[in-house]
Amino acid sequence: MINNDDVWRDVFVTGLKNAHAVEHQALALMDRQIDRARNFMEVAEKLKAHRLETEQQISRLEQILSGLDESPSGLKDAAMSMSGNMAALGHTFAEDEILKNAFANFAFENYEVAAYKGLIVLAEHGGYSVALDPLNASLDEEARMAAWVDQSLPALTEKFLMLKRAGENPSR
């Protein structure tokens, strides 16, 4: 017979490992974008700052997992890092690379917000109160980044068009 507490723990641990892998994917995506955002330094600077937050998020997830006598999935981390690199690479050939990256970032950041919200529900109802502060800190960081991407999209689009009209390469 399956113990419901075991099911809850399994779902929580799986979610933590998935979030850890997603954060590794985020690092890969940001690294590629930072290197290529030459005409959009405001984007590069924001991505650099969020990259530092992402490293902290990874550390928080590792601490939570360690407290549960678990460890991240190296296979998931590697697969998601590779996936992030491939996704970012796919946009490099686009004439509107910076816009495609912004659209992808909007979706990605909101996905991370949803993932952390789910983990918080699992932690609250599963009795993992020690995980709440670190998960809420990560949720706040992701929500701020999602809001920034959303708010910056109009100005980014206008700058893209201005550069294109001036005959410059606006894709980066």
Q: What is the pLDDT of residue 34?
A: 92
* pLDDT tens across the length of the chain (172 residues): 445 578 889 999 999 999 999 998 899 889 989 988 888 999 999 999 999 999 999 999 999 999 999 987 655 544 445 554 445 445 454 578 899 899 989 999 999 999 999 999 999 999 999 999 999 999 999 999 999 999 999 999 999 999 989 988 776 5
**Domains with residue ranges and CATH for the chain:** 4-165 (1.20.1260.10)
Q: What is the pLDDT of residue 77?
A: 44
Q: What is the pLDDT of residue 57?
A: 98
Q: What is the pLDDT of residue 151?
A: 98
In this structure, are residues 117 and 139 in contact, taking their beta carbons and an 8 Å threshold? Answer: yes
Q: What is the pLDDT of residue 168?
A: 82
> Helices 41-67 and 4-36, interaxial angle, to 10°?
160
The DSSP symbol for 37 reads -
> Helices 74-91 and 4-36, interaxial angle, to 10°?
30
In this structure, are residues 37 and 172 in contact, taking their beta carbons and an 8 Å threshold? Answer: yes
- CA 87, CA 138: separation in Å to the nearest integer? 23
Is the model's pTM score more than 0.85? yes
Q: What is the pLDDT of residue 171?
A: 66
Structure tokens at 153: 């999209």
**Helices and strands, counts by H and E, the chain:** 5, 0
